[in-house]
Structure 1
Amino acid sequence: MLDIAEELHRWVEQGRDFAVATVVAVSGSAPRGPGAALAVDSEGTVIGSVSGGCVEGAVYELCQQALADGESVPVLERFGYSDEDAFAVGLTCGGVIDILVTPVRASAPEREVFASALSAAARGEAAAVARVVSGPGEMLGRALLVRSDSSSGSSGSSGSSGSSGSSGTFGSYGSYEGGFGAHPELDRTVAAEAGAFLDAGRTGTLEIGEQGSRCGAPLTVLVESSVPPPRMLVFGAIDFASALVRIGKFLGYHVTVCDARPVFATAARFPDADEVVIDWPHRYLERTPVDARTVLCVLTHDAKFDVPLLRLALRLPVAYVGAMGSRRTHLDRNERLRQVGVTELELARLRSPIGLDLGARTPEETALSIAAEIVANRRGGSGVSLTGAHTPIHHDATSATAPAGRIGSVA
């Protein structure tokens, strides 16, 4: 749901009734992962996608039916693949996905927590919404919102009105609003778990008892996280950097270009960059925030810039550090880094020469090879051709079993 937050937020502000279908779990090969969403309003307008086209028509009809029924209880459906029935609706890739269809009407008590979550996500703020997707019928659809600041929403329970929900703080992460209306410890436990998902930028499910531990009836809770885009820091305002900026934006990064030379580091040369910074690269890196999703691309291939920058970069908890240069430059740079105290373990983190072997020559091809390596590093890919390989296509897909509850087998 949060992956289409901007559009859904507009629908909420316009007072539209809508139903949203969200991928809860996937098994085997599937086009999209947990959290992918498709929404349909009362006039039949559709936004988003849950499968890249395989089951969109069937999900669209489920959303329309959910709005026409007048019920507030979410419905969980399973879509798979059938060799026996050629006309069955399912995933041609052979995977299985479980999709939760939730009607969100203007009068629904849980709409407030959805509205707050969508508003935060549309503004680029960190937020997570936890929803009960299977368990006791009276708890289906109840929601809880977690944010890292003090702003709040509220929530009620599906199928009832007048529920005030709950609110509070947990750990050192932040606050939560809304609630499940069951055991008082349940809200605090789910908030803490959702906070951990949010801290990691993850979306997925968790299993928990309705009393907040393993006690009571089992619940499956979907936690959807929305976090600000990860950062890509490109050091070196060269023509290769311009191409890398464009592909970095395409991949969803917040891209910064940094160079100490003001004649090259200009907004006119890098119109697609979110920021263009004039500073010595290592000085900028010392003062700018980074996290475990940040990628650093060092394109300067000049020792006076590279060595102090990489000495710092290889000691930071970032996702990726790559440096451009020939193999001769790479060997010389590594020796210079050793001389300033960089250890072999730290050097092992450096991707140099940067990028995958695509035979790239142009700036655009080189940017593609760098981006491919970043994606492979993020997803655990090997970088080899899929033709003739026996490796999984989706390396980070989890083989989760479908939650219990109202699951209809389609295909």
Structure 2
Amino acid sequence: MLDIAEDLNRWVEEGRDFAVATVVSVGGSAPRGPGAALAVDGEGTVIGSVSGGCVEAAVYDLCVQALQECRAVVERFGYSDEDAFAVGLTCGGVIEVLVAPVAADAPDRAVFAAALSAAARGGAAALTRVFRGPPELLGRPLLVTGPDERPDGTYEGTLGGHPELDRTAVGESRALLAAGRTGEFVVSESGAHCGSEVTVLVESSTPPPRMIVFGAVDFAAALVRAGKFLGYHVTVCDARPVFATRARFPEADDIVVEWPHRYLRETATDSRTVLCVLTHDAKFDVPLLAAALRLPVAFVGAMGSRRTHEDRNRRLREEGVTEDELSRLRSPIGLDLGARTPEETALSIAAEIVATRQGGTGRPLTGTRMPIHHDTPDSSVRARAVA
């Protein structure tokens, strides 16, 4: 439900009653992953999606019912080839959906409100709920936030079982939040590996990943727009103040006038950061890439012709870059789309970034039998908690 946190946070501030349906488990070629949500308020207004349209009407009815009965339920939707008009997923996948009411006077309202507020502000938050187990535990929320929200490391809410269940859930939730992942784990109701088991979904909301575009060129303006569309916090960096201006890059989150390699040394990066080097000028590229290829970032790509690529690799080797480090470089950057314009080139670069992140091949799906959706550590994880 944190994927629609901004709208739900507004509903909380307005005092609305609502119910939220959250995808908690998927199988096969499901259209959306765990954490995807649809919500319905007391007036029948709907936001979000759990399936891209396949089962939305049925989930809507479940939300209305949950509001009326003040009771959480879990529903499974799969493919039915016996009745073309049956409610199900046309893609052939399977999803489980947790539907839970969030009434204005509900005891758990404050926990949901805190989670939605943190996520809407771009803070780090992990919302944990039981979706398989005793009926009285279904949908109960527990919230873990990042140190900026709660420096003392405390948490809010309870899953409603044994205190050890909460302690185990907090530890697992913090680990998933630190990795920026949404996933599930299994533990017993008492928090140990005995007795009745419960399955818990942890939804993580983290600040958007960074895309740093080096080189304030025409192609960079189009790539900034593509990066924003993909949900990145986009920074443009160039040593030339005449080019690195707000007028040229109105959609960038940050514009930095600095030598690229110096800025990269000083700025924060992590395992989700994407670095796109568009300068194709050796005096900028070589020191920048020598530093970038030694950082644990998600993607390092550089623009240039085949000749530029070979010359740049030679210079990087002379700077001591190893073959293993050099193998991380995506150059020439982008997928082979036949792109020519800045917009087409930005699309080709964005497509390679998505393919790298999700484990895609970049090949056409037509005529192949490869999976449409790839399971990667970035999308969801499954774990068995250790008490």
| Band of TM-score, shorter chain | over 0.9
Q: Percent identity?
A: 74
Match for 2:43: what amino acid?
E
> 1:149–1:175: 8 Å Cα contact kept in structure 2?
no
Which residue of the partner structure matches residue 228 of structure 2? Answer: 249
Which residue of the partner structure matches residue 39 of structure 2? Answer: 39
Which residue of the partner structure matches residue 88 of structure 2? Answer: 90
Which residue of the partner structure matches residue 385 of structure 2? Answer: none
Q: 1:29 Cα deviation (Å)?
A: 0.8
Q: 1:150 Cα deviation (Å)?
A: 6.5
Match for 1:77: what amino acid?
E
> 2:34–2:380: 8 Å Cα contact kept in structure 1?
no
> Aligned pair 1:271/2:250, yes or no?
yes
> 2:123–2:149: 8 Å Cα contact kept in structure 1?
no
- Mapped to 2, the partners of 1:141 and 1:241 lie a distance apart of 45
Structure 1 ranges of 4+ moved more than 4 A? 397-401
Which residue of the partner structure matches residue 163 of structure 2? Answer: 184
- Mapped to 1, the partners of 2:24 and 2:160 lie a distance apart of 22
Which residue of the partner structure matches residue 144 of structure 2? Answer: 146
- Mapped to 1, the partners of 2:280 and 2:364 lie a distance apart of 29
Does 1 or 2 have the higher relative contact order (CA < 8 Å, sep 6+)? Answer: 1
- Mapped to 2, the partners of 1:399 and 1:250 lie a distance apart of 22
> Aligned pair 1:27/2:43, yes or no?
no
Which residue of the partner structure matches residue 118 of structure 1? Answer: 116
Match for 2:277: what amino acid?
V
Which residue of the partner structure matches residue 304 of structure 1? Answer: 283
Match for 1:297: what amino acid?
C
Q: Which runs of 5+ in 1 are unaligned?
A: 153-167, 402-411
> 1:299–1:324: 8 Å Cα contact kept in structure 2?
yes
Aligned partner of residue 175 in structure 1, secondary structure:
coil
* Residue correspondence of structure 1 range 322-401 to structure 2 within 5 A: 322-396=301-375
> 1:27–1:400: 8 Å Cα contact kept in structure 2?
no
Q: Which runs of 5+ in 2 are unaligned?
A: 383-387
Change in 2 beyond 3 A, CA 1:151/1:311: closer
Aligned partner of residue 176 in structure 2, secondary structure:
helix
- Mapped to 1, the partners of 2:34 and 2:51 lie a distance apart of 11
> Aligned pair 1:10/2:10, yes or no?
yes
Q: 1:359 Cα deviation (Å)?
A: 1.0
Q: 1:9 Cα deviation (Å)?
A: 0.5
- Mapped to 1, the partners of 2:349 and 2:311 lie a distance apart of 21
Match for 2:58: what amino acid?
A
> 2:79–2:94: 8 Å Cα contact kept in structure 1?
yes
> Aligned pair 1:233/2:212, yes or no?
yes
> 1:81–1:95: 8 Å Cα contact kept in structure 2?
yes
Q: Residue by residue, what CA displacement relative to the aligned partner does 1:268-310 show, whole Å, maximum 9, x if unpaired? A: 0001100111000001001110000000000000110001100
CA RMSD of aligned residues (A): 1.6
Mean Cα displacement is larger for which, 186-195 or 264-273? 186-195
> 1:311–1:342: 8 Å Cα contact kept in structure 2?
yes
Change in 2 beyond 3 A, CA 1:396/1:188: same
Which residue of the partner structure matches residue 175 of structure 2? Answer: 196
- Mapped to 2, the partners of 1:5 and 1:78 lie a distance apart of 24
- Mapped to 2, the partners of 1:150 and 1:192 lie a distance apart of 18
Q: 1:146 Cα deviation (Å)?
A: 0.5
Which residue of the partner structure matches residue 156 of structure 1? Answer: none
Match for 1:93: what amino acid?
C
Q: 1:399 Cα deviation (Å)?
A: 11
> 2:18–2:40: 8 Å Cα contact kept in structure 1?
yes
Q: 1:390 Cα deviation (Å)?
A: 1.5
Which residue of the partner structure matches residue 215 of structure 1? Answer: 194
Which residue of the partner structure matches residue 57 of structure 1? Answer: 57
Q: 1:400 Cα deviation (Å)?
A: 9.9
Q: 1:137 Cα deviation (Å)?
A: 2.2
Aligned partner of residue 223 in structure 1, secondary structure:
strand
Change in 2 beyond 3 A, CA 1:317/1:222: same
Q: Residue by residue, what CA displacement relative to the aligned partner does 1:112-160 show, whole Å, maximum 9, x if unpaired? A: 11000000000000000100112122222221100112746xxxxxxxx
> 2:182–2:381: 8 Å Cα contact kept in structure 1?
no
> Aligned pair 1:259/2:247, yes or no?
no
Match for 1:336: what amino acid?
R
- Mapped to 1, the partners of 2:154 and 2:309 lie a distance apart of 47
Aligned partner of residue 334 in structure 1, secondary structure:
helix
Aligned partner of residue 88 in structure 2, secondary structure:
coil
Under a length normalisation based on structure 2, what TM-score does the superposition of the two structures give? 0.95
> 2:4–2:37: 8 Å Cα contact kept in structure 1?
yes
Q: 1:176 Cα deviation (Å)?
A: 1.9
- Mapped to 2, the partners of 1:105 and 1:54 lie a distance apart of 27
Which residue of the partner structure matches residue 224 of structure 1? Answer: 203
- Mapped to 1, the partners of 2:291 and 2:298 lie a distance apart of 14
Count of aligned pairs: 380
Which residue of the partner structure matches residue 72 of structure 2? Answer: 74
Q: 1:30 Cα deviation (Å)?
A: 1.4
> 1:27–1:399: 8 Å Cα contact kept in structure 2?
no
Which residue of the partner structure matches residue 162 of structure 1? Answer: none
